Amino acid sequence: MLDTLDHGTSQETPTAFDAIIVGSGFAGLYMLHKLRQLGLRARIIEAGSGPGGTWYWNRYPGARCDVVSMEYSYQFSAELQQEWHWSERYATQPEILRYVNHVAERFDLLRDITFNTRVTAARFDEETGRWHINVEPGAELTARYCIMATGCLSSANMPAIPGVARFSGPTYHTGHWPHAGVDFTGRRVGIIGTGSSALQSIPLIAEQAAHLTVFQRTATYSIPARNAPLEAAQEARIKADYAAMRAHNWQQPFGVDFQQRTDSALTSPAAEREREFEARWQRGTLGFLAAFGDLLTDSAANELAAEFIRNKIRTIVKDPVVAETLVPRQVVGCKRLCLDTNYYETFNRTNVTLVDVNAAPIREITAAGLHAGDTAYQFDCLVFATGFDAMTGALDKIDIRGRQGLALKEKWQAGPRMYLGLATAGFPNLFTISGPGSPSVLSNMLPTIEQHVEWITDCIVHVEASQHRFIEALPAAEDAWVEHVNAVAHTTLYPHCNSWYLGANIPGKPRLFMPYIGVPPYVEKCRAVAANGYEGFALTP
């Protein structure tokens, strides 16, 4: 326990903590577990009414992970890994949420979480060296450490289409889905967006709805998930040496076993190339893009992979006009590749219509539906599968102020600036899990969340043991890191389209490539920084 701790004014409602963690997704839960192991008095503040973050909020039909569950799961507890049984290769949202709740109960985390409470502001007091954290409803809490586990994809993006409030039926955002579910039976449904959330939900909504109209702005590349019950033999094989699989994955570019090949698609004989693409299409994995070493770095190589998927779409979709509308033109992978179950097939149904909003822009939402191009569409309900203000959205919603009252939003006017995606200069003892500048969304997020949590824990141990008051990133280290993140990104094709990785999905958001590409070099950099006495950070005695 820290010496400096003031336990607040009342025994029943403590307001002073060693650490406040914002968010109870996978990141916040593990952070709480680790800090409690240190004997720190830590508390999570969570806006939702239960733990799970992404898997608490995104309850739309078809929601499931697209990294295999045996890998998209915690590895910090060997017992947990052995005990838990995933029923499917890619678990559904309800199953992942059951897992989250199991973890929360197994490690007795719930008693230190305040649900239904939103953090609205966090202000660093230079005199006391404490963070003052305002919560709604509630009072002001204080803590020596403030850890933002607020999520990369937790701030839903509602497009500013004129007339949204006028629509007479219910509207749903995939990222805020009603807990009771939605019955679309017999209803005329409009859905805006064709990203991962839309691709998962469209086939299931189409099965129920009287008619489904899909409004597409950018066509999406997707690989069939080929989801299936998890094979007992495969589970047993992995569980026989789970640690070996995890160790292998830490050496992989995205922290997941995509069976990365390193040879060039361009020099591979055409028949071999086709065989490899086909094998990966049949396997059902995001590792389609790991088929060759240059698919994400060389436009000509990328075009070969893109054309393979385009031809699959042309084969699956019977109406050639609809097929061509569904065929993406951009670089494959620069927007996130998707996995689906019967997405393209769904456009063969007679109760599904595809509208290209580039040809027929959505002009306004009306009481009865919406106007796109010259057509007035009538709907009973509208689904927004329009994504998130990614990576910075949840942080921007909190009024975070560091030294001399500097607002984080002001500091980040030209785009987020962080050292390693873990800390930002001028904001002592403030950490971010999966912050901009870390592999985060370009990785299997569970392992990289754990790596962040463990790094932050070690850092706090170091600050305490060396009897420092604060640790904070140095501006020069931060600038060099931001430059490096972007330099690495620009050796790839990722910045070649208007993706949310660049902030391009949010009007007015500055364009800066946010995630760091490459798990192994990133983990090594974090290790070296700590080993060299927290190089690039200032420690205040």
The yes or no reply on residue 53 touching ligand FAD (CB under 6 A) is yes
**Minimum CB distance to ligand FAD smaller for 23 or for 333:** 23
Q: Which of 21, 27, 122, 323 binds ligand FAD (CB under 6 A)?
A: 27
**Minimum CB distance to ligand NAP smaller for 145 or for 388:** 388
What are the residues whose beta carbons fall under 8 Å from the beta carbon of 507, sequence distance 6 or more? 160
Nearest distance from C-beta of residue 160 to ligand NAP, angstroms = 8
Stretch that binds ligand FAD, among 6-14, 39-47, 177-185, 352-360 (CB under 6 A): 39-47
Coil, helix or strand at residue 57: helix
Stretch 150-179: interaction string toward ligand FAD, x if CB under 6 A? xxxxx-------------------------
Q: Which of 19, 65, 205, 442 binds ligand FAD (CB under 6 A)?
A: 65
Residue 78 CB burial class (10 angstroms; 0-12, 13-18, ≥19):
exposed
Cα atoms found within 13 Å of the Cα of residue 425, Cβ hemisphere only: 15
Q: Which of 25, 402, 426, 536 binds ligand FAD (CB under 6 A)?
A: 25
Query: Is the N-terminal amide bond of 515 cis, ω within 30° of 0?
Result: no
Q: Which of 398, 460, 477, 523 binds ligand FAD (CB under 6 A)?
A: 398
Instruction: Look up residue 336 and give its two tokens.
Output: 């996130």
Interface ranges with ligand NAP (CB under 6 A):
65-66, 153, 159, 174, 192-198, 200, 215, 217-218, 336, 339, 357, 362, 385-388, 441, 500, 505
C-beta neighbour count of 348 within 10 angstroms = 14
CA distance 39 to 1: 5
Distances (CA, A) of 211 to 53, 346, 444: 32, 12, 36
**Minimum CB distance to ligand NAP smaller for 32 or for 153:** 153
The yes or no reply on residue 286 touching ligand FAD (CB under 6 A) is no
The yes or no reply on residue 22 touching ligand FAD (CB under 6 A) is yes
Nearest distance from C-beta of residue 337 to ligand NAP, angstroms = 9
Amino acid 58 reads N
The yes or no reply on residue 516 touching ligand FAD (CB under 6 A) is no
Nearest distance from C-beta of residue 321 to ligand NAP, angstroms = 20
In the complex, residue closest to ligand NAP by CB: 195
Q: Which long-range contacts (CB under 8 A, 24 or more apart) does 324-329 make?
A: 325/216, 325/219, 325/354, 325/356, 326/216, 326/219, 326/354, 327/219, 328/218, 328/219, 328/220, 328/221, 329/219
Q: What is the dihedral of CA 156, 423, 251, 88, to 10 degrees?
A: -30
Angle between helices 519-531 and 242-250 (to 10 degrees): 90
The yes or no reply on residue 503 touching ligand FAD (CB under 6 A) is no
Nearest distance from C-beta of residue 292 to ligand FAD, angstroms = 23
121 forms beta bridges with 134, 399
Nearest distance from C-beta of residue 422 to ligand FAD, angstroms = 13
The yes or no reply on residue 24 touching ligand FAD (CB under 6 A) is yes
26 makes contact, choosing from ligand FAD, ligand NAP, none, with CB < 5 to 8 Å by partner type, with ligand FAD
CA distance 455 to 432: 11
24 makes contact, choosing from ligand NAP, ligand FAD, none, with CB < 5 to 8 Å by partner type, with ligand FAD
Nearest distance from C-beta of residue 312 to ligand FAD, angstroms = 22
What are the residues whose beta carbons fall under 8 Å from the beta carbon of 66, sequence distance 6 or more? 90, 196, 225, 286, 338, 339
35 forms beta bridges with none
Q: Report residue 298: phi and psi, to 5°.
A: -125, 120
Nearest distance from C-beta of residue 87 to ligand FAD, angstroms = 16
| Number of residues engaging ligand FAD in binding (CB under 6 A) | 37
Nearest distance from C-beta of residue 48 to ligand FAD, angstroms = 5
72 makes contact, choosing from ligand FAD, ligand NAP, none, with CB < 5 to 8 Å by partner type, with ligand FAD
Nearest distance from C-beta of residue 195 to ligand FAD, angstroms = 10
**Minimum CB distance to ligand NAP smaller for 113 or for 306:** 306
> 295: left (phi > 0), else alpha (psi -120 to 50), else beta?
alpha
The yes or no reply on residue 246 touching ligand FAD (CB under 6 A) is no
The yes or no reply on residue 201 touching ligand FAD (CB under 6 A) is no
The yes or no reply on residue 449 touching ligand FAD (CB under 6 A) is yes
Instruction: Look up residue 199 and give its two tokens.
Output: 């691709």
The yes or no reply on residue 205 touching ligand FAD (CB under 6 A) is no
Pure H helices in 264-298 = 270-283
CA distance 339 to 124: 43
154 makes contact, choosing from ligand FAD, ligand NAP, none, with CB < 5 to 8 Å by partner type, with ligand FAD
- Residues of this chain that interact with ligand FAD (CB under 6 A) are 22-28, 45-48, 53-54, 56, 58, 63, 65-67, 72, 118-119, 149-154, 197, 394, 397-398, 433-434, 444-445, 449
